[in-house]
Structure 1
Amino acid sequence: MDSRVRHIAKSITWRIIASATTFSLTLGFFGKAELVKASWLAVAETTIKILLYYLHERLWFKVSTRLNHKLRHVLKAITWRLVASGTTFTLAMLLFDGHENALEKATWIALIESILKLIFYYGHEEAWYRINMGLENRPK
């Protein structure tokens, strides 16, 4: 099996976790009255970040695997958080432009999601480290 299938599967599982987190935070900050915009944010984020996450996975796949796997997971989590939180902040500002305190709320969403998703992403990486799908030639 090709490693690309693995990366697609990882992308999908991560997007489910991450989009649900962003959607929940957005509703928490902007309220249930903004359900439609929160839904659009989740859809836009999912669409854009699936591509970004796949590219991130491909890049890290090419990076040396001589790093300790735990250190590698931490570094991957940090680089992904920078890309992902920046994307969420930008999308929130675009969708909620003109909303009262939009800048402050988008900033808080990006900050809180950074903390939560850093933890969730590390767990996601640890789980996928134990799955050999797409890694038939993986050294043991």
Structure 2
Amino acid sequence: MDSRVRHIAKSITWRVIASATTFTLTLIFFGKAEIAMASWLTVAETTIKIAIYYVHERVWFKVSTKLNNKMRHIAKAITWRVIASATTFVLALLIFGGHDDAMEKATYIALIESALKLLFYYGHEEAWYRINLGLDNREKNKATS
């Protein structure tokens, strides 16, 4: 099975976790009266970040490092969090820009989601490290190299 299938599956499972987190935080900060706008933020974030996450996975798949597995997972989690939180912040500002304290609320959402999702992402990486989906060709290619 191709590694791209693995990266697509990882992208989807991560987006479910991450989007649920962002949706919940948005409702906490902007209130349940803004459920439609929170939904728009979640849809926009999901759509954009699936593509960004896929590219992130492809880059890390091709990067050769001397990091052990734990350190590599930490490095991937940090790079992804910076990219993802900046994206959430910008989207929240665009969608909620007309609200009072939109900048402050978007900042809180980005900061809190950074902390939560850093932990969630590390756990996601650990779980996927134990799943062999899409690694067959990589292992065969290493053996023939």
Is the structural similarity TM-score above 0.5? yes
2:75 corresponding residue in structure 1: 75
Q: 1:90 corresponds to which residue? A: 90
Q: What code does the residue aligned with 1:2 have? A: D
Residue of structure 2 in register with 1:19 after alignment: 19
Superposed CA deviations along residues 17-64 of structure 1, whole A, max 9, x for unmatched, are 000000000000000010000000000000000000000000000011
CA deviation digits over 1:66-86, x for unaligned, max 9?
320000000000000000000
Matched residue, 2:123: 123
The whole-number CA distance in structure 2 between the counterparts of 1:21 and 1:43 is 13
In the alignment, structure 1 residue 32 sits paired with structure 2 residue 52: no
> CA separation in 2, counterparts of 1:122 and 1:135?
20
Amino acid at match of 2:32: K
Identity, in percent, stands at 76
Q: Distance in 1 between matches of 2:94 and 2:19?
A: 17
Runs of 4+ in 1 over 4 A off after TM superposition: none
Aligned to 1:107: 107
SS of corresponding position for 1:57:
helix
How far residue 98 of structure 1 moved from its aligned partner, in angstroms, is 1.4
* SS of structure 2 residue aligned to 1:131: coil
Query: Residues of 2 paired with 1:98 and 1:44: CA distance?
Result: 18
Distance 1:35 1:133 in 2: 36
Separation in 2, partners of 1:34, 1:123: 30
Q: Which protein is richer in helix relative to its size?
A: 2
Provide the aligned C-alpha RMSD in A: 1.1
Aligned mates of 2:132, 2:32 — CA distance in 1 = 41
Q: Give, in whole Å, the separation in 2 of the partners of 1:77 and 1:135.
A: 20
Which structure has the larger Rg over C-alpha atoms?
2
| Superposition map of 1:42-61 within 5 A | 42-61=42-61
Distance 1:44 1:98 in 2: 18
Superposition TM-score, scaled by structure 2 size: 0.94
Q: Cα distance, 1:65 vs. partner?
A: 4.8
